[in-house]
Amino acid sequence: MGRHFACFKAYDIRGSVPDELNIEIAEAVGRAYVRQTGAKKVCLGHDIRLSGPDLAHALIRGLASQGCKATHMGLIGTEMVYFATAHYGFDGGIMITASHNPPQDNGMKMVREGSRPISSDSGLNEIEEMAHEEIVKGGLGGPDPEHEWLDAYPDFVDHLLKICPPDKLKPFKVLASPGNGAAGVAMRALSRHLPLQVTEMMFEPDGRFPNGVPNPILPESRAPVEEEMKKGGYDLGIAWDGDYDRCFFLDENGTFIEGYYLVGLLAQALLADHPGSTIIYDPRLTWNTLEIVQKAGGKAVMCKSGHAFIKEKMRAENAIYGGEMSAHHYFRDHWYCDSGMIPMLLTLKLMGETGKTLGELVGNMMTAFPCSGEINSRVASVPDVLARVEAEYPGGLIDRTDGLSVEFDEWRFNLRGSNTEPVIRLNVESRGSSDLVKEKTDALLALIRA
């Protein structure tokens, strides 16, 4: 099966509008989605991108042309499609978003019933093939069909409050920054039920992204939040990406906390209430998570990174939580899907219960297992680099769950290729020595970039 559209990726659809994704392709995708899944009723919504409403209407035309009833939820976040699909019993859901891509881009994330993911190995390639057939066949366009509207915010907020009841929280002072993405709408709906004192920053949804595209994993994107946090007076800082399926934390001093340590923290929070449960983690950085899960009497299971793999493994293991260092956090109580709101609630709950700040909660982890953070390098050939590095580090314990992991007594590293570009990603960690992390990271990068 050949590629027909530049916007079809491994896990979703994403591309520039209108060159790579447009209303014609969106309508064809709607038709193809129904042909592939057999869905009779589907929910959908879009993030703040300016092209979202037009793509949504085209998608609805495509769905309706195949006899599928569409329910439009308007401006929402990705996790609300996961919520609505499963909670209301739709046959599937489609979120129109390009997450943290540039403003001119848009895309779609799709699920089938029960919010099970659709990716290249579970129907996305077939949808691409069928969408191409629909465009060749023609007959696209025409008037907008009737569709239902649904305001899912009240039920979504109830769902979050069941996972973390407000009486479990203390009146912490929180700086919240959606970066003009969609999270502000959800946060306002949620925070009126919480005892928090929320200071709003870049809260108004704006698809022109006046403060840059929200992607707080990038230092320049989170810099304004760090600056405000450093003025003091806040217990916690939180920032989201545009469709808020990822959230990022800053401690009381304005220090950005790597997603790796949040995995350990959320595992700790959930195991406290559900002893003996299973936690899924990815192979990039592992030692901190393993130690925490072991201490808390849980079971840790490794899984290849990528949302489709993690969700599948969580279902197979009935895991309560799955975490990736890339700031995707998955919860059994959220149909094994990722959420950008639940991690905030659970972190605040843990801070209240332990009487510790976020800095105190993760400080020991950061000292015990310092890490390099993920470092990307553009390379001519990923397989060649992997082979070269492996030859250079004999005698380590090797794991190939995802790329190449090599483990020694005092340090370990993971090196893996990107799914979508000629980029290799390096993560290094040690037992208690940040000097060792720096030394090994420098040596590995010299070898990778040679």
Q: Does residue 26 carry a pLDDT above 70? A: yes
186 in a structural domain: yes
Q: What's the sign of the alpha-carbon dihedral 273, 274, 275, 278?
A: negative
For the chain, what is the mean pLDDT? 97
Asked whether residue 6 is assigned to any structural domain, the reply reads no
- Domain-embedded: residue 224: yes
Where does the pLDDT of residue 419 fall: very low under 50, low under 70, confident under 90, or very high at 90 and above? confident
Q: 129 with 214, same domain?
A: no
Rounded to whole angstroms, the Cα distance separating 9 from 418 reads 12
What lies within 8 Å, CB to CB, of 143 at 6+ separation is none
∠ at Cα 373 (186, 412), nearest 5°? Answer: 130
Q: What is the extent of the structural domain holding 288?
A: 259-368
Bridge partners, 145 (sequence order): none
Q: Based on the domain organization, do 139 and 20 belong to the same domain? A: yes
Domain boundary among 368, 389, 411: 368
Residue-wise pLDDT tens digits, 73-119: 999 999 999 999 999 999 999 999 999 999 999 999 999 999 999 99
Which residues 6+ apart lie within 8 Å of 109 measured at CB?
11, 12, 13, 78, 81, 94, 95, 97
Residues in the chain: 450
Residue carrying the six token digits 């993030």: 47
Whether residues 53 and 125 share a domain: the answer is yes
CATH number at residue 431: 3.30.310.50
Tokens of 382: 């990923």
Beta bridge partners of 281: 302, 323
**Closest Cα to residue 289, out of 256, 248, 319, 244?**
319
Is the pLDDT reported for residue 347 higher than 90? Answer: yes
* Alpha carbon distance 214, 221 (integer Å): 6
Question: Is there a domain that residue 166 lies in?
Answer: no
- Report how far residue 402's alpha carbon sits from residue 136's, in angstroms, rounded to the nearest whole number: 38
Reference 74, options 89, 100, 90, 96; nearest CA is 96
Give this prediction's pTM.
0.96
Q: Is 164 exposed, middle or buried (0-12, 13-18, 19+ CB in 10 A)?
A: buried
The token duo for 314 is 């969580």
Same domain membership, residue 143 and residue 76: yes
Domain boundary among 201, 228, 255: 255
7 lies in some domain: no
Alpha helices in 119-234 (DSSP H): 125-137, 153-163, 183-191, 219-230
Are residues 28 and 144 both part of a single domain? Answer: yes
> What are the residues whose beta carbons fall under 8 Å from the beta carbon of 148, sequence distance 6 or more?
69, 70, 71, 72
Write down the pLDDT at residue 335. Answer: 98
The pLDDT, as a whole number, for residue 1 is: 59
Query: Which one of the listed residues 16, 99, 115, 430 is annotated catalytic?
Result: 99
The Cα–Cα gap between 391 and 410 comes to 19
For residue range 240-283, what is the model confidence (pLDDT) as tens digits? Answer: 999 999 999 999 999 999 999 999 999 999 999 999 999 999 99
> Is 418 part of the annotated catalytic residue set?
no
Task: Look up the CATH number of the domain holding residue 234.
Answer: 3.40.120.10
Percent of the chain with pLDDT over 70: 100
**pLDDT (0 to 100) of residue 361:** 97
Q: How many domains is the chain built from?
A: 4
Distance CA 220, CA 431 (A): 30
Do 309 and 353 lie in one domain? The reply is yes
In tens, the pLDDT along 384-410 reads: 999 999 999 999 999 999 999 999 999
Distance CA 412, CA 419 (A): 23
Under 8 Å between Cβ of 284 and 305: yes
Provide the Cα torsion 339, 57, 102, 207; round to 10°: -80
- 19/110 same-domain check: yes
Q: Cα 206 to chain center, whole Å?
A: 21
End position of a domain, from candidates 151, 180, 199: 151
- In 365-430, beta strands by DSSP E: 375-378, 397-399, 404-407, 411-417, 423-430
Task: Kindly state whether residues 291 and 362 are assigned to the same domain.
Answer: yes
Helix then strand count (H, E) for the chain reads: 14, 22
pLDDT tens digits, residue range 289-327?
999 999 999 999 999 999 999 999 999 999 999 999 999
Res 3: pLDDT: 82
Distance CA 228, CA 239 (A): 12
344 and 264 in one domain?
A: yes
Q: How confident is the model at residue 421, as a pLDDT?
A: 82
Distance of CA 215 to CAs 177, 181, 193, 196, 418, Å? 11, 10, 27, 24, 18
